[in-house]
Amino acid sequence: MTAYEYVKVLSVDIGPRPAGSDNNRRTAEFLRNELEIIGVDEVGTQEFALRPDFWNGTALLAITFTLAILFMLTFYPLFALILSVALPVLTVLEVDSGKEITMRFLPSKTGRNIIGKEKPSGESTKRIILCAHHDSKTQAIPIGVRSYIILLVLVSMLYLFVISLMTVLSVTVLPQAMEITNLVGRGMLLVVPFFFIYAILNYIARFVAQSPGADDDASAVSVILEVAKKLKEEPLSETEVWFLFTDGEEIAMKGAIEFVKTHHEILAESTVINIEGCGVEAPLAYSTKEMSLRTAETSERVIALFQRAARVAGEEAFPISRATTTDGYQFAKHGYDVSTIWRFSDEVREVAHTSKDNMNRIDSAALDNTVRFIDACLREFDGN
């Protein structure tokens, strides 16, 4: 099979593959099987629990806390203050670090990371991990609009904290605070709708045409399978290569979190190349930082590697430094040397997670060039 044919199997024959779905399980089985057919030295599955309703869960959490805070303000302002601090803290812990606190009450399904390991011909002295997520996601609204809604939700959280604090102060040490509280209080009713909008949009997503996830991220998975074949034909001399297909990247990077958790020590000296959509005609780009709540810079070493590999592959690779909350972030957070590769344009951002991310967009030359680039990365890394 070619990379193009792999994308077709994943996005057309299997179709949308949201975490926890039957299609998702079928995808994991297909990938494991394919790595075995290619003859990769070691192939395994890492299973873990994930919550398909995660994003609806975060919305429910926000709504419950908001109503409780608004209710308690009148009678128990101190409790309102505690809850207004707890809400963002819980959200950060669950979304950023995968700690399941309120999420544990949501129904759970099995998530599957597929892991392949290919040994070098000689003694293995270094390791590189190629990572791509095999789950897909459908979203009712474009990513651009969604980031504004998230911003409004964050502002709402801050607002709930301020008004709770003012109320506590006004009944304890600072009676004047009551005037400010009253002033702020008028805007109070504005808070709730933001959380509701967020929740409703999350809910609607399941009724809109599902995204086949052709570029995001069947393209990268397919590129990695092709790279695995090339390594079989012509092995590296001292670099061990891992192929990691994560599940639940679209559910707050769940698969990557589980992988890092269980492979922490082995991975301390690994270099990670995380690959996102790379199957459309767009410039090849790499992240110079992995960023969410914390920021981690990509090392000069990896950037230099990309530049050398791009020359070998006859492409130009561009740095991008905008927020990239993908699997790469979870590795970066734990100190690994990581960068995320894309074929990136504004169109890519608009189409991601919609039904338009389908086979029609996929360009087989773009896929083949990405295979050449990643292969060059591995060989440059091996020889230096």
Cα distances (angstroms) measured from residue 265 to each of 259, 333, 335? 11, 14, 12
- Span interacting with Zn ion, options 25-33, 73-81, 86-94, 274-282, rule CB under 5 A: 274-282
Nearer to Zn ion, 242 or 342 (CB): 342
**In the complex, minimum distance from the CB of residue 224 to Zn ion, in angstroms, rounded to a whole number:** 14
The reply on whether position 215 binds Zn ion by CB under 5 A is no
Contact 232, 38 (CB under 8 A): yes
The reply on whether position 327 binds Zn ion by CB under 5 A is no
- Span interacting with Zn ion, options 79-87, 196-204, 268-276, 304-312, rule CB under 5 A: 268-276
Q: Which residue's structure tokens are 């008028």?
A: 186
For Zn ion, which residue of 217, 226, 240, 375 counts as binding (CB under 5 A)?
Answer: 217
The answer for 193, left when phi > 0, alpha when psi is -120 to 50, beta otherwise, is alpha
Question: Sign of dihedral through CA atoms 86, 324, 240, 111?
Answer: positive
- Span interacting with Zn ion, options 96-104, 146-154, 272-280, 292-300, rule CB under 5 A: 272-280
For Zn ion, which residue of 53, 216, 226, 247 counts as binding (CB under 5 A)?
Answer: 216
Q: Residue 317's beta-bridge partner residues? A: 284
Nearer to Zn ion, 157 or 341 (CB): 341
Nearer to Zn ion, 100 or 276 (CB): 276
- Span interacting with Zn ion, options 101-109, 237-245, 269-277, 329-337, rule CB under 5 A: 269-277
Continuous segment of H or E residues that includes residue 297 = strand 295-297
What is the footprint of Zn ion within residues 121-150 (CB under 5 A)? none
The Cα–Cα gap between 144 and 359 comes to: 23
**In the complex, minimum distance from the CB of residue 103 to Zn ion, in angstroms, rounded to a whole number:** 21
What is the footprint of Zn ion within residues 50-69 (CB under 5 A)? none
Contact 51, 94 (CB under 8 A): no
Contact 199, 63 (CB under 8 A): yes
The Cα–Cα gap between 133 and 284 comes to: 18
- Span interacting with Zn ion, options 11-19, 44-52, 217-225, 266-274, rule CB under 5 A: 217-225
Sequence-distant (6+) residues with CB within 8 A of 294 are 333
The Cα–Cα gap between 189 and 186 comes to: 7
**In the complex, minimum distance from the CB of residue 70 to Zn ion, in angstroms, rounded to a whole number:** 36
Tell me, by CB under 5 A, how many residues bind Zn ion: 3
- Residues at the contact surface with Zn ion, assessed by CB under 5 A: 216-217, 276
